[in-house]
Structure formats: structure tokens, C-alpha cells
Amino acid sequence: MTDVAGTPILEAPEAIGAGDQHMVLNMGPQHPSTHGVLRLVLEIDGEIVVRLYPEIGYLHTGIEKTCEAKFYQQVVPLTDRIDYLSPMANNLCYCLAVERLLALDIPEKAQWIRVLLSELTRLNSHLVWLGTHAMDIGALTVFLYTFREREDILRLFEAVSGQRMMTSYFRIGGLSMEPPLDFFDRVQAFIDTFPEKIDEYENLLTGNPIFRNRLKNVGYLSAADAVALGVTGPNMRGSGVDFDLRRDMPYSSYEKFQFQVPVSTDGDCWARYLVRLVEMRESVKIVQQALDGMPEGPITADAPKIVLPDREKMKTQMEALIHHFKIVTEGFAVPAGEVYQGIESPRGQMGYYVVSDGTAKPYRVHMRNPSFANLQALETMCKGRMLADVVAVVGSIDIVLGEIDR
Amino acid sequence: MAETTKIAFTGKAAVLEGLPEHPAVKAVLAWNPEALADAKFDCGELTLTIAAGQIRAAAATVQAAGYNFFEDLTAVDWFPSSPRFQLSYHILSHTLKEHIRLRVLLDAASPSVESIIPVWPSANYYEREVFDLFGITFDGHPNLRRILMPDDWQGHPLRKDYPVEGYR
């Protein structure tokens, strides 16, 4: 084993000759504005941040290792727990990766419901981001408003999957069950009123001079830095890089939907705020298109050896019972190979790398989570700026620690 | 997508014959045909196996060929077969709208490879993660410390000879 050095920043002031001028400040891991258990070690000169060092790993649970001991279908509930604010995005990415290895064709209706729920997940995630971000800056009211709408989305998730947060609704080969009869009407009722709610948030925040001054020209990230540091999603688009996997490398029939990808060239916290607000409005449009054009048909692929049979069939047909028994006890073998599937999660580009050795358990599952890479840009954004801005920047890059530590 | 997933080329010769115009294949061949140890095209993804000592130069080559965004780095432990470790670099092109995978194979005894941080600074956390969980070292990494596990942890959890429930 390589020898372990201390946290480098703690030894720094003497090393760079700054002597007593610089102070080391520890922020977290239990600081409310770090959105989880993130520890930031800051070297400050007065109130100016000289260096910043994120210390992560407090939530590491070894999910990648656990995946190797599970059947393919048993990994789906683990993916929920990675990012508890956008479970559907994780489910979708994992299922798409395994389906590519299996060369399964997913029925159109299942693909459209996946798109619909992915966009609701994006709204859910952005609502939590907006509420907590505004709360960090001092605008406490917005938090109560966004969580009111988030509750509506969680009720929709509960209606469709039986679970509010850990949905596990997408399965390899399709969906776990048909949505309830009034589900689409309930989604319609929600998105009919939702754009007004976004106006409400904007009335509280966009014109608010205190909020604006806390975000404008704070946490600047150039387009070149964003690409070099691996930043993706709204953070990258807020810096002027016009790339969105939903539009540029469509998956799950996103190519059939019309939507705009908001881009801003300002690169500051304010730009990231505006990009996410426009994204929420665009998500509503995608959900509307999905509701209007929802195709008819089955919700699972025609693959009896992979998809669990219908409950009624299982009770009445011998074949279905055998398949059910086989899938549950032995899993299903996936052809050997490796696949990398990327999707646009609410926080940026998410990627699942699945390696199969031809057995019923994945040989290796790796998650490329957007927050992990986005966190690398934190120092670039905060260096040379005021200490109080660090809180605004951490809020604006929208990290989820469960996803970083896995 | 169903169409592209059915096309497959296995082996360097088949890829060179099947995809001679692929920008990444062309760039790597123009730079150093010797460094390309193997290649395959499967599930719509191109995989180029690069000789272990050449990964930094290969990364710079594909970057110049338009693959501008480093997305992911991870490893696979093929214990007990040899070579034991496989490093997979996933690289995305914003203009070509395509992923490629660069693959490096490493032996079990003191696995080590050049860091690609000079090419893509975003590899920083990913190389630390691979070091932490697999024990593969990256030469030239400015701060190669454990990132997810505690600093005083013994062993590398994602190796296949490390039990799922840890040593008891």
C-alpha cells in the first residue's frame, strides 16, 4: 500500500510562505449548506478563499461492489439509492445499458412513459435544488413553495410505482406495472398549473435584488474550464457549451419530442439559475407532448425469459410459472460484453458502464455520476472570491452527496 | 439503434477493414499504428486497446481528433486471468456526438499507468477513485490519495479477491 499523506492543504501556509496570514477553515461535514455530508477544507486570507479542498467519501456504501453480488434485476433498487432526488434517471440509465447488452427492443409505450417520468424526475430534482439553493442565500420562503409542488410529484410517483422516492419503476425490458387508470389525468392536472408556479418562484427570486446580487458574477466558470474539468448538465450549459444528450444523442425515443435546450454564456451562478428555470419550463412541454401522443400497446418487451410474467398468467399458466420461478431464482444470463450508456440526468451526464461475463450477475457496474465530476470545478469557481460566495456556489452546482460517494 | 447494435467487428484487422474512415481509428493509425494493440466494435461502441505505456499520447491524439470531452474512467479486475486489470476510458465528442472507449490492459504485479491529467484535468477524481478501489497507481498524478475510502484503509475493495462483506 502507498503511504498516506495528510490533507495537503492543512500543511500549506508554511509551504507557500504565507506564514500566519492564512487560516485554515473547516466547513462541514455537517454543515447545512453543503447539501449532505461534504467537507470543505478552505485556506482563507481574511475573507478571500485562497484554496479549497473538497473531502468526500462520508456516504460511501460500496454500491458498485454490491452490484457484483446481485442478479441483474436486483441491481435496479440499488440504483435508486445512489441519487435519492432523481431515482428514475438512475433506473433508466441502468436499464438502458443492460437492454443494449441483451439487444432488447422496448415497446413504444414503455419508452414514452419513461420519458414522461424522467421529465417529472427532472422537475422534482430541480424543485429541491431551487428551494435549498434559495434557502442557502437567505430566501427562506421559496423552499416552502417548491416543496409544495414536489409533494405533488411524489404523489404521482407513489401512484405509479407504490413508492414516493425509491421508485424502482423501470425494469429491464420495460416497466414494472401499468400506470393506474387516472394517472395521465393526474399528470395533466399537475402540469396545467405548474407553469404558473414557476412564475410564482420567479416573482419571488428573479426580480429580487438581494438574490440577484448574491448570484450575479459569482462562481464564474468559462466554457473551456467546464469541458476541461468534466462539468456537465445545466452547469456546463450555463457556461455556454451547447450540448444535451437528450437532443444530441437521443435515447428512449427522445428524438420524437420537440424542446429547446437553454444555454447561457455568462457562466456565473445567475446563469445556472436561469438555465435550470428554463429547463423546468421545457420539461413541462415534453411531459405535455408525451401525454398528447401516448401510444397504445404493451409496456414490457416480448422476452419471457427476461421480463417477469403478468401476475394473472403466472397463476394460471404453467409456462409463465416456470419462467417466473427461473427468473427469480436463477436470474437471466446476459451475453458477454461491455456497454456504456449515457443519459442526461437532472444534474448532467450520467453514464452506466456494465460489463458482463455471460452469467446472471453483472461482472462490473460502474456509475459515472455528474455530481462527482461537477464537484471538481468547485475550487476553480471559488478561488479568489469571498468566503460567503462558497455557499452560493455549492448551491448553484446542485450536488447530491449520495451520488458522489455511491 | 437496433440496427447499429447488430454490427460488430472483433479484432484489430476487422475494425481496420470495417471502419477505415472512423476519425478515432484514423487519428490513432496516423499517430502510431504500433500503439494500437487491439480493437473491437460492439453494441455501437468502438473500443481501442492501447499499449500500456502510450495512454497519455493516445489520449492527446483522440482529443486532437475531436473527442474533446473526457467522461469516465474506471477499471475492471479480471482476476485470476492475465492480464489482470483493464482500464476503460470513456471519451465523448461534442461535435461527432459519439462515445469511444480507450482500453489499457495491466498485469497484476504493481499495476501502474501514466496519468492523463495533462490532457484532461477532469481525470483527477477518477484516477484517485481507481487508485482507491483497485490499487492501480497513476504516474504523474499530483495528489494520488484515497478519495472514497478512509485514508487508513487496508486493501482495495473493488478487486475481485476482496470479499463483498469485507475481511472478518
Which residues, in sequence order, are CB contacts of A135 under 8 Å at separation 6+?
Answer: A142, A143
Contact (CB, 8 A) for A388 and A40: no
A368 CB burial (10 A radius; 0-12, 13-18, 19+): buried
| Residue A235 counted as domain residue | yes
Q: CB contact, 8 Å: A2 with chain B?
A: yes
A14-28 pLDDT, tens digit per residue, is: 555 556 678 888 887
Instruction: Give the pLDDT band of residue B6 (cuts 50, 70, 90).
Output: low
A236 grid coordinates: 456546463
Nearest CA in chain B to A69: B164
Q: Which amino acid is at B97?
A: K
Q: Is the pLDDT of residue B3 over 80?
A: no
3-state secondary structure of A368: strand
Please report how many Cα atoms fall inside a 13 Å half-sphere around the Cα of residue B160, on the Cβ side. 15
**Among candidate residues A397, A331, A385, the one with its CA nearest the CA of residue A129:** A397
Q: What is the CATH number of domain B2-110?
A: 3.30.460.80
Please name the member of B5, B76, B147 whose beta carbon is closest to the beta carbon of A364.
B76
Instruction: Give the pLDDT band of residue A52 (cuts 50, 70, 90).
Output: confident
- Please give the pLDDT value at position B167: 59
A391 grid coordinates: 455557499
Q: CB contact, 8 Å: A249 with chain B?
A: yes
**Among candidate residues A142, A376, A396, the one with its CA nearest the CA of residue A269:** A396
B109 grid coordinates: 504485479
**Among candidate residues A234, A216, A218, A215, the one with its CA nearest the CA of residue A374:** A234
| Residue A339 counted as domain residue | no
**Among candidate residues A149, A31, A158, A146, the one with its CA nearest the CA of residue A87:** A158
| Closest CA of chain B from A345, distance in Å | 14
| Closest CA of chain A from B118, distance in Å | 10
Which residues, in sequence order, are CB contacts of A16 under 8 Å at separation 6+?
Answer: none
Alpha carbon distance B113, A295 (integer Å):
50
| Residue A166 counted as domain residue | yes
DSSP label at A300?
Answer: B
- Residue numbers of the domain that contains A39: 8-55
Alpha carbon distance B69, B77 (integer Å):
25
- Please give the pLDDT value at position A121: 92
A235 CB burial (10 A radius; 0-12, 13-18, 19+): buried
| Closest CA of chain A from B34, distance in Å | 25
Can you give the residue ranges of every domain in chain B? 2-110
CB pairs under 8 A between A and B: 110
Contact (CB, 8 A) for A234 and A267: no
Longest CA pairwise span in chain B (Å): 54
Residues of chain B found within 8 Å of residue A101, distances taken between Cβ atoms: 43
Percent above pLDDT 70 for chain A: 94
The position carrying cell 435546450 is: A261
| Residue A335 counted as domain residue | no
Look up the CATH number of the domain holding residue A98. Answer: 1.10.645.10
Nearest CA in chain A to B73: A368
> Is the CB of A373 less than 8 angstroms away from the CB of B120?
no
- Please give the pLDDT value at position A402: 83
Alpha carbon distance A333, A310 (integer Å):
21
Alpha carbon distance A393, A15 (integer Å):
28
Mutate to test the interface with B, among A41, A338, A404 (most CBs of B within 10 A): A338
**Same structural domain, A255 and A132:** yes
Q: Is the pLDDT of residue B1 over 70?
A: no
**Same structural domain, A12 and A154:** no
Instruction: Give the pLDDT band of residue A158 (cuts 50, 70, 90).
Output: very high
Q: What's the ipTM?
A: 0.89
Percent above pLDDT 90 for chain B: 15
**Same structural domain, A23 and A89:** no
- Please give the pLDDT value at position B53: 85
- Please give the pLDDT value at position A270: 92
The position carrying cell 407532448 is: A289
**Same structural domain, A51 and A148:** no
> Is the CB of B2 less than 8 angstroms away from the CB of A105?
yes
- Per the document, the length of chain B is 168
Q: Distance of alpha carbon B144 from its chain centroid, rounded?
A: 18
**Same structural domain, A214 and A116:** yes
Which residues, in sequence order, are CB contacts of A292 under 8 Å at separation 6+?
Answer: none
Alpha carbon distance A139, A398 (integer Å):
17
| Residue A287 counted as domain residue | yes
Centre a 10 Å sphere on the Cβ of residue A297 and count the other Cβ atoms it contains.
10
**Same structural domain, A211 and A281:** yes
| Residue A343 counted as domain residue | no
The position carrying cell 405509479 is: A160
- Please give the pLDDT value at position B5: 54
DSSP label at B96?
Answer: T
Provide the domain count of chain A: 2
| Residue A352 counted as domain residue | no
Name the E strands within A179-334.
Answer: none
A370-382 pLDDT, tens digit per residue, is: 998 888 888 888 8
Alpha carbon distance A351, A366 (integer Å):
8
- Please give the pLDDT value at position A8: 47
> Is the CB of B71 less than 8 angstroms away from the CB of A372?
no
> Is the CB of A4 less than 8 angstroms away from the CB of B152?
yes
Mutate to test the interface with A, among B86, B125, B132 (most CBs of A within 10 A): B125
Q: Computed from CA positions of residues A261, A264, A267, A271, in that sequence, does the dihedral angle turn out positive or negative?
A: negative
| Residue A391 counted as domain residue | yes
Q: Computed from CA positions of residues B32, B144, A391, A131, in that sequence, does the dihedral angle turn out positive or negative?
A: positive
A3 grid coordinates: 503511504
Render the burial of A37-72: b for 16+ CB within 10 Å, e for the rest.
bbbbbbbbeeeebbbbbbbbbbbbebbbbbbbebbb
**Same structural domain, A288 and A390:** yes
Residues of chain B found within 8 Å of residue A105, distances taken between Cβ atoms: 2
Alpha carbon distance B67, A49 (integer Å):
34
Q: Is the pLDDT of residue B91 over 70?
A: yes
Q: Distance of alpha carbon B33 from its chain centroid, rounded?
A: 18
Contact (CB, 8 A) for B115 and B131: no
Q: Is the pLDDT of residue B63 over 50?
A: yes
Q: CB contact, 8 Å: A68 with chain B?
A: yes
| Closest CA of chain A from B57, distance in Å | 17
**Same structural domain, A120 and A253:** yes
**Same structural domain, A17 and A131:** no
A176-223 pLDDT, tens digit per residue, is: 888 998 999 999 999 999 999 999 888 888 888 888 888 888 888 888
Please name the member of B5, B148, B154 whose beta carbon is closest to the beta carbon of A103.
B5
CA-to-CA dists, residue A1 to A378, B73, B113, angstroms: 30, 21, 16
DSSP for A92-123 reads: HHHHHHHHHHHTPPPPHHHHHHHHHHHHHHHH
Nearest CA in chain A to B165: A66
Residues of chain B found within 8 Å of residue A64, distances taken between Cβ atoms: 133, 158
A388 grid coordinates: 460567503
